[in-house]
Amino acid sequence: MELKRQHLIDPVICIRCNTCEETCPVNAITHDDRNYVVDASICNNCRACVPPCPTGAIDSWLMSSRPWTLEEQFSWDDLPPEAKLEEGLESGPEPAEVTAIIDVATASTGGRVPPPFSAAHPYVNVYSRESPATARVAGNFRLTDPDAESDIHHVVLDFGIRPFPVLEGQSIGIIPPGVDDKGRPHNIRLYSVASPRDGERPHHNNLAVTVKRVRAKDDSGKLIEGIGSNYVCDLKKGDQVLVTGPFGDTFLMPNHPEANIVMICTGTGAAPFRGFTERRRRKAPDAAGKLLLFFGARTPGELPYCGPLMKLPPSLIDVNLAYSRVPGEPKQYVQDKMRERDTDLAALLKSEHSYIYICGLKGMEQGVEEALSDICRLHDLNWTEIRAQLRREGRYHVETY
Ligand code: NAP
C-alpha cells in the first residue's frame, strides 16, 4: 500500500485568523464556521502558508493511503492520531528550498514579510492549548465613554512567576472556558498585546490586551454575543485565565532609535501601537526617529486610549485622529488624514529608516493603500516599487481582520 503525505491544519491550535487562506498561492485552503482545511487535490506542498501562520497549526502532516476529504477535515475537533505522529517530520522541502519558495511567494502573492532588521528576537508558541499558562486578572477597565455604543476593555493579565516573554506587536491566545453547543471546547481567541515588553506595569510579569465586546444582531434580529470577547470583558480582578502563545514573529517594532514608525489603525487595532508607543516613551523618548499615528474611530468617546494618547507630548508622537460618526461633522477615515499629511508621509517614504504598520479592520487596507499610492503620485514617487522594497526589507506590516 502506497502512503502519501497530506498537508493538514491542526484544529486544536488553529486560531482561525485566515492568514493561511490569504497566503496560499493556489487557493487550496478554505474554511467553514468551525475549521480551516486544506484541499489535497489542489495543495502542492509549497509551504508558502507555513511561515506566516502565527501558531504553527498549519505545519501538520499525515501519511495516509488516501487523502482526507474536506468534509472529514471540517468534522474534526483534533487531528487523527496518525497525523500527529507525522507532524513536522519529513514534512516538506529542505530549508534552502523553503526559503526560495517563500521568496517567490512574497513576490507574487503577498506572503511573508520579514521582521525589521533591528527587532528583538521573539519567543513564539511557548504555551499551547494542551499546556497553557495561567494568568491572574490584575485589572479590567472600560476604555470607552459610559454612553458610547462600543464597549472596549483594557484587561491586564499577570503571570506571577511563570515566564511569559512577549514583544510589542505579538499576540496571545485566550481560551474561553466551557464548550460550544456541540460539546466541543471553544476555539482560542487571539488578541494583540497592548503593552510594552517590560510589562504593563514596568518590570512586572504582566501584559495588557484591548478587547471589544461583540454584541450584534443577525439578519433575523437575533442577538449574537461573542463568546470570547464577552468572557474577557466580564473578567473580574483575581480571575484566572488560560493563555496560549505568544504568537507572531514579524509584526514587531524596530529597536534602532533612528526608526520612523508610521502606525495606521482603526478601533481596537490600536492595541499593538500602544505597546510600540509606550516602549519608545519608556526607553528612547528622545530618539531621532519619528512616531506618526493615524487612528480612526467613530467618535472621541469610542476611541480607545483617547485620554492618555492626547497627554503624550508632540515631541514623542505626532497624533492624527479621524472620526467617522461625530454628529454635524463630515465622516473622516484614516486615509483622509493621511492625505492631509502627504508631504510628511512622502518624506518618510524616502527614508530607509521608515516602517509602516497597518492594524484594524480588513476594509481599511485598500483605502490606506490607495492613499499611499496617491501620495506617491503627487510627490513623483513610485508606490508599487516602494511597497515592494518596504516588504522585502521588513518595513511594511499589515494585521487586519
Ligand atoms: P470600528 O469601531 O468598527 O471602526 C473603527 C473606525 O474605522 C470607525 O470610524 C469606522 O467607520 C472606520 N472604518 C470602517 N471602515 C473603514 C474603511 N474601509 N477604511 C477606514 N476606516 C474604516 O472598529 P473595531 O470594531 O474596533 O474593529 C477593529 C478591528 O481591529 C477588528 O476587525 C479587530 O478584529 C481588529 N484587531 C483587533 C485587535 C485586538 O487586539 N483587539 C488586534 C488587531 C486587529 P464607520 O464604521 O463609521 O464607517
Please, which pLDDT band fits residue 102 given cuts at 50, 70 and 90?
very low
**What distance in angstroms lies between residue 357's CA and the mean position of ligand 1's atoms?**
15
How far, in whole angstroms, is CA 386 from its chain's centroid?
A: 23
292 and 391 housed in the same domain: yes
* Count of residues making up the chain: 401
Ligand 1 contacts CB of residue 191 (under 6 A):
yes
| Cα 108 to Cα 111: distance, rounded to the nearest angstrom | 8
Ligand 1 contacts CB of residue 35 (under 6 A):
no
Neighbour count for residue 211 (Cβ, 10 Å): 28
139-170 pLDDT, tens digit each:
999 999 999 999 999 999 999 999 999 999 99
Give the count of domains, the chain.
3
Cβ neighbours of residue 72 closer than 8 Å, sequence gap 6 or more: none
Look at the block and give the residue holding cell 491572574.
136
| Cα 347 to Cα 356: distance, rounded to the nearest angstrom | 13
| Cα 386 to Cα 382: distance, rounded to the nearest angstrom | 6
Among 69, 86, 103, the domain boundary falls at: 86
220 and 314 housed in the same domain: no
Catalytic annotation on 359?
A: yes
Cα angle 274-166-203, degrees, rounded to a multiple of 5: 80
Residue 85 or 22, more confident: 22
223-232 pLDDT, tens digit each:
888 999 999 9
Q: How deeply is 170 buried, as exposed, middle or buried, from its count of CB atoms within 10 A (0-12, 13-18, 19+)? A: buried
Of the candidates 163, 175, 167, the one whose C-alpha atom is nearest the C-alpha of residue 193 is 167
Ligand 1 contacts CB of residue 282 (under 6 A):
no
Catalytic residue among 60, 150, 171, 192: 192
> Is 252 part of any domain?
no
Q: What are phi and psi of 331, to 5 degrees?
A: -65, 130
Catalytic annotation on 399?
A: yes
Cβ neighbours of residue 59 closer than 8 Å, sequence gap 6 or more: 50, 53, 87, 88, 91
**What distance in angstroms lies between residue 204's CA and the mean position of ligand 1's atoms?**
30
Catalytic annotation on 265?
A: no
Among 247, 276, 311, the domain boundary falls at: 247
Q: Copy the grid coordinates of residue 393.
A: 526589507
Domain with residue 271: its CATH number is 3.40.50.80
Mean pLDDT, range 270-284, rounded to an integer = 97
Domain with residue 144: its CATH number is 2.40.30.10
> Is 227 part of any domain?
yes
Catalytic annotation on 305?
A: no
317 and 391 housed in the same domain: yes
pTM tops 0.85: no
305 and 219 housed in the same domain: no
Element holding 291 (H helix, E strand): strand 291-297
Q: What percent of the chain has pLDDT over 90?
A: 72
Model confidence at 80: pLDDT above 90? no
| Cα 191 to Cα 166: distance, rounded to the nearest angstrom | 13
Q: Which domain holds residue 295?
A: 260-400
